[in-house]
A = this chain, B = another copy of it.
Amino acid sequence: MNQHIEEFTTLHKQLINQCLPGNSIDCVIFGFDNHQLKVLLLQWKHEKVWSLPGGFIDKNDDMDKAAYRVLQERTGLKSIFLNQFYTFGGKERSQVNGVTQARRIEKFLKEFKNVNQDLTNWLKQRFITTGYFALVDINKAKPRPDFLSEKCEWKSIRNLPKLMMDHRKIIQKALDHLRIQLNYLPIGINLLPQKFTMQDLQQLYEAILRVPLERSNFQRKILKLGILIRLEKQMTGAANKAPYLYKFDKAKYRILIEKGIGFVS
């Protein structure tokens, strides 16, 4: 328990003196694995409830820096683009299913000794949180719990566990933004392996959009973007049925990320 006391004392000083009051960030980190879209979640110590990886903002840092720090600390990944997608400022956002976050924090902190009341009060204040999402390669990420949690795991978005506060809504909103992005930005780098079939790419779109897409229409529209390079056939069975493998033309992909898939221009 000594380690905990020390960690809490450090945490206490960091939060009260070093962080902006009432502001936090939450990261929705998506990965694609086994045809499923997954999200990285933490399970708090002594609790059954899960949460998004999140953090507070140092008074001397940009808000973005807090988000990148969380992404890196929880996954070990650097140089991944984070999309700021929405800020959650509802007054009731800490109260979900009748359990207020304030009560959860009090109960949670009681499990530890020597927790300063200032720290409890600081954590109990009303927070406005800014959501960021990232698309990462699930095979390269090394999930690590933070000090308050004991598990850090990938969970399918189709089967999410019980989440604290408004974190389910935050994931939903991140998905909405990801779906909207499909209309004007290419997707796939980081989420798919380096070589993939047209079906793999279609399944990624379908997992995000949650609707089945018509195969030939999808193929025509994707090929028209000019970001795919066709490679050899994937030899697993009969040669005549083997699908082609593709990889992204990274230069063209990057240009399309910059200029977008324009509707009129």
Contacts and interface: CB of A to CB of B under 8 A. Distances in A.
Interface stretch (A16-24, A41-49, A73-81, A99-107): A16-24
A260 interface: yes
A126 interface: yes
Contact of A23 (B61, B128, B265): B128
Give the bracket for the number of chain A residues in contact with chain B: 35 or more
Nearest to A57: B89
A221 interface: yes
A239 to B, nearest CB: 29
Contact of A22 (B20, B61, B218): B20
Interface of A: 20-23, 57, 59-64, 84, 86-87, 89-91, 126, 128, 130, 180, 182-184, 205, 209, 211, 213, 217-218, 221-222, 260-265
15 contacts: A21-B21, A21-B22, A22-B23, A23-B89, A57-B128, A59-B91, A59-B126, A60-B91, A62-B91, A63-B89, A63-B90, A84-B86, A180-B184, A183-B183, A217-B264
